[in-house]
Amino acid sequence: MKPWKDWTDEEIEQFISDNKDKFDRYLPEPKHEEKFLKKLSQLIKKTVISIVPHLIKVIIVMIIIWTISFALWYFFDLPTLWGLFWKWIN
């Protein structure tokens, strides 16, 4: 039998359907839910901690792009708009 990580979705579904009666009769050990939730919370913390540096980089790049876009608009497009506005009211 292959390790769990190497199974395809179809193989997992087949295993579950073949052993459905065993799953229905099985009672988890005491504190199983607590162990599962603890592992899940550790996985979430690990994932969030590993993604934070990338999110910071994305935010910095977004701020730089926004600043450059605003500067280009302010120095190149805004004077043209003001010139059109003054021509229109005069």
**Taking the domains of the chain in order of start, what are their residue ranges?**
40-90
What are the backbone dihedrals phi and psi of residue 35, each rounded to the nearest 5 degrees, phi first? -60, -45
pLDDT tens per residue across span 64-87: 999 999 888 887 777 776 676 667
Residue 62 is predicted with a pLDDT of 98
**Residues 21 and 28 sit within 8 Å (Cβ to Cβ):** no
pTM: 0.46
Residue 42's closest CA among 50, 54, 52? Answer: 50
| Residue with the two structure tokens 């099985």 | 26
Higher pLDDT, 4 or 29: 29
* Averaged confidence pLDDT in the chain: 83
Residue 77 is predicted with a pLDDT of 75
